[in-house]
Structure 1
Amino acid sequence: MADQSEDEIRERLKTALWFSIGKIVDEESMRRNRNATPQFIGALTDMVWSQIENVAIDLESFSRHANRTTVTTDDVLLLARRNQDLHSIVKDIVDKEKTRKLRAKAKGKGRA
């Protein structure tokens, strides 16, 4: 992958996204007894790709603003702040993972 250009990688990712969205749309179309055109799937893929790019830019900006080179869960929570339902879901997942890691760390210390 080192010899691939950034444009080639981007195109492969977009193709994989198109394929995945196509499968989801096909499954949902079958379930609902509806049809979706390839143009619809293409437009939906372009919309999702645009959202992914915007999210990536925002997350990078948040981490850079905090003088970090790595995106953290704090950046994701900051991104989700305007959607209260999404923020709650992400916060619950982050809190559960932190609790799990603390318990695992405590167990490891108990063995030593």
Structure 2
Amino acid sequence: MATDRVLCGSSSEIERGEEQEEQQQEHDSEAKLLRDRFRLSAISIAESEASKNGMEISKVLVSCIADLAYKFTEGLAKDLQLFAQHANRKCVNMEDVILSAHRNEHVSSYLRTFSNDLKARDPSSERKRKKEAKKNDKATI
């Protein structure tokens, strides 16, 4: 009888396994939908740029570009997640994005300029964050 439990598992373990499997299937279908939408957007952009420049582009090439862009985006997402974790944060911020572009000086400088422009437009949010940080510092002392 003890072997029956080991082989079959308890009903709660089976239910947890089924829930995990359902969640995995749901995650997989969402990931596939996201990939397909990304791919369609990339194809649309490539075709639009080709027609703007009076060029024709093969379907195979467009498909390869879309797949390459998706793979790059997956890697970028992983890097951003790791940068945030390294800083003991759960959310990615603008500094993580700028850091991810450090190998491309042009993109990096563009992102810094964009970030500074955003900060210049909304200086009140920066002040609020500083005030909250000071309050938290006083509370921990």
TM band (smaller chain): 0.7 to 0.9
Tell me the residue number matched to 1:94.
115
Q: Deviations over 1:5-57 (max 9, x none)?
A: 11111111111122112212222222333322222122111100110001000
**Cα distance in 2, alignment partners of residues 73 and 104 from structure 1:** 14
Tell me the residue number matched to 1:18.
39
Moved more, 87-96 or 19-28: 19-28
TM-score scaled to structure 1, two decimals? 0.81
Mapped contact 2:50–2:56 kept (Cα < 8 A): yes
Mapping 1:1-112, distance limit 5 Å:
5-102=26-123
Mapped contact 1:18–1:41 kept (Cα < 8 A): no
Q: Deviations over 1:48-103 (max 9, x none)?
A: 01100010000000000000001011111111112111111100111111122115
Instruction: Report the count of equivalent residues.
Output: 104
Whose radius of gyration is greater, 1 or 2?
2
User: Cα gap change, 1:40/1:65 in structure 2, threshold over 3 Å: closer, same or farther?
Assistant: same
- The percentage of aligned residue pairs carrying the same residue is 25
User: Cα gap change, 1:90/1:25 in structure 2, threshold over 3 Å: closer, same or farther?
Assistant: same
Name the Cα RMSD after superposition. 2.0
List gaps (5 residues or longer) in structure 2: 1-22, 128-141
The runs of 4+ residues in structure 1 deviating greater than 6 Å are: none
